[in-house]
Amino acid sequence: MTWLLSDKNGLASMFGAHGQARLGGSRARTCRYREAGFTMIELMIVVAIIAILTAIAYPSYVTYITKTHRVAAEGCLAEYANYMERFYTTNLSYSKTSAAVANALPAMDCAATQQTGANYTYDLPAGNLSVSTYTVEAVPINAQLTRDAKCGTLQLDQTGKRTALNDPTDVAGCW
């Protein structure tokens, strides 16, 4: 609804229903559209900020995941070491049973694909297996092989000695 009002000089002006002067032409439309959204510059700034945050966060995330898989493999090596000690208690040898059957690592739950099997394989190298000694090892595979180049293959022997084959000097950093 619009009213036609006169001022004291008799000049008429048009007012809208809320008493605001009605502006004609494109100026009112331009202001209305300008307030309705974001400019391309603003969107590009947001995209740039997200890209920078992602570039910083993703490598940290990959490092965290690599360390997590390594720690899980260390736990699995401890389970295999427990198996070897039980085997020795039963057979008085790490290498063979009392019936002269060679010892082989069993398939344990920790080595399943859902646990650590997608990132590590576990082995009992024949050269490191005797009546009184053994060495179990976790060999990285797939993405873990390339991501964990620092430590590489992890080993645990009958004395509890821990070794990282790629960096034997920094065992504390790998274990």
Predicted local distance difference test score (pLDDT) of residue 42: 92
Q: What is the pLDDT of residues 41-86, one digit of tens each?
A: 999 999 999 999 999 999 999 999 999 999 999 999 999 999 999 9
In a domain, 102, yes or no: yes
In a domain, 45, yes or no: no
Indicate the pLDDT class of residue 16, thresholds 50, 70 and 90.
low
What's the Cα-to-Cα distance from 2 to each of 104, 108, 131, rounded to whole Å? 95, 84, 105
Whether 152 and 166 have beta carbons less than 8 Å apart is answered as yes
- Mean pLDDT, residues 91-110: 87
Q: What is the pLDDT of residues 136-169, one digit of tens each?
A: 999 999 999 999 888 889 999 999 999 888 877 7
Parent domain of 156: 67-174
In a domain, 87, yes or no: yes
In a domain, 48, yes or no: no
d(CA 164, CA 112): 22
In a domain, 164, yes or no: yes
- Mean pLDDT, residues 100-108: 86
Q: What is the pTM of this model?
A: 0.69
Q: How many domains does the chain have?
A: 1
Give the number of other CB atoms < 10 A from CB of residue 103: 18
Indicate the pLDDT class of residue 170, thresholds 50, 70 and 90.
confident
Q: Which helix (H) or strand (E) holds 155?
A: strand 154-157
Average pLDDT, the chain: 83
